[in-house]
Copies of this chain bind each other. A is one copy, B any other.
Amino acid sequence: MAVKDFVGRDIISIHDFTKKDIIDVLETAKRMETLSNMKLNRNMMNAKVMASLFFEPSTRTRLSFESSMNKLGGKVIGFSDGNISSTYKGESLKDTIKMVENYSDVIVIRHPIDGSARLAAEVSNVPVINAGDGSNQHPTQTLLDLYTIKKTFDQITDLKIGLIGDLKYGRTVHSLAYALALFKAKLVFISPEELKMPKYIINDIQKANPDVEIEEKNEVESVINDLDVLYATRIQRERFVDMTEYEKVKNAFRIEKKMLKNVKSNFKLMHPLPRINEISEDIDESKYALYFEQSANGIPIRQSLLALVTGRFG
């Protein structure tokens, strides 16, 4: 494993990763978990400072990155929201990055505008990790999703994986579908008509992986018993003009316990969280619920990336 190749690298989009790169990160995360269990990585990021620049709030992602850094002995500076002076708001992103690179060894950025993470990376002398830029990319989410599947099933290839919910606007599912296809998973896209996976994304996936199997469904019942994984995402009210339509769709795509009666015995339900009401809470304690463990996997993945890009792993 050539972890040296990651030193100084920016983590902006899953599209920048080869399949080999992804495998390297997943392997590193596995080793990181072993080190954590043996308490051998507690000083790995000693004397390193991570700048956590959240231009919009994302408590879950922020806490995951900050915990990752802290558990490796590193330090964190930054901001979590609009606690920013008005003059500062007028500053260009470039100037902000030119400041912060002097104060830190790695920059984690969350920004509402598509492409901002890439811009930050171009300007910065220290590695930049994208923690979500607008509707564009959120590569650490994709990597932790893959890691979760790999850890649970020991492989990704040939698994039948359903993606359900808002497949039109959902950043998470676009990146994930792309990455799953790399690993030759079989894909089922399940969504209301209004929120189907965009044709251009399906084309992209097929071009990159000519033999990928893709099905499309507008309900989940007919396919759920064949799935290994069902990955649910939120359907956002804002996407609908007609609120009656929204209520209908929202309820039709909610996962209820009774729907799991005949699923495969190893079937797993995933969700990037936060969930609003996409998954009934009575599923939480069942063996099918993988979403809390999935969230926990953010730690080894983000620890690996932080350590890799700053040269503290390998």
Contact = CB atoms under 8 A, between A and B. Distances in A.
Interface in A51-74: 51, 56-60, 63-64, 66-67, 70-71, 73
Nearest to A78: B63
A98 B90 CA distance: 36
Interface stretch (A159-167, A250-258, A291-299): A291-299
A49 B67 CA distance: 7
28 contacts: A42-B46, A49-B67, A49-B70, A57-B84, A57-B85, A59-B84, A59-B88, A60-B88, A63-B103, A64-B103, A66-B77, A67-B77, A70-B75, A70-B77, A71-B75, A76-B77, A79-B80, A83-B83, A90-B274, A91-B273, A92-B281, A95-B274, A96-B274, A98-B284, A98-B292, A99-B273, A102-B296, A103-B299
Given A95-B274, A273-B95, A49 B71 contact: yes
A276 interface: yes
A91 B47 CA distance: 35
Contact of A295 (B82, B102, B234, B273): B102
A274 B91 contact: yes
Contacts of A66: 77
Given A60-B88, A99-B295, 20 more contacts: A47-B73, A49-B71, A57-B85, A57-B88, A58-B88, A63-B99, A67-B77, A71-B75, A79-B80, A82-B83, A90-B274, A91-B273, A91-B274, A91-B276, A95-B275, A99-B273, A102-B292, A102-B295, A102-B296, A103-B299
Nearest to A99: B295
A286 interface: no
Interface string A290-309: 00100110110000000000
B90 A276 contact: yes
A119 to B, nearest CB: 13
Given A99-B295, A295-B102, A87 B234 contact: yes
Given A71-B49, A78-B63, A299 B87 contact: no
Interface residues of A, number: 55
Given A98-B292, A275-B95, A56 B81 contact: no
A100 interface: yes
A85 B71 contact: no
Contact of A51 (B42, B63, B274, B276): B63
Given A67-B103, A79-B59, A80-B83, A39 B49 contact: no
A96 to B, nearest CB: 8
A218 interface: no
A230 to B, nearest CB: 18
A195 to B, nearest CB: 17
Contacts of A42: 46-47
A100 B49 contact: no
Nearest to A77: B66
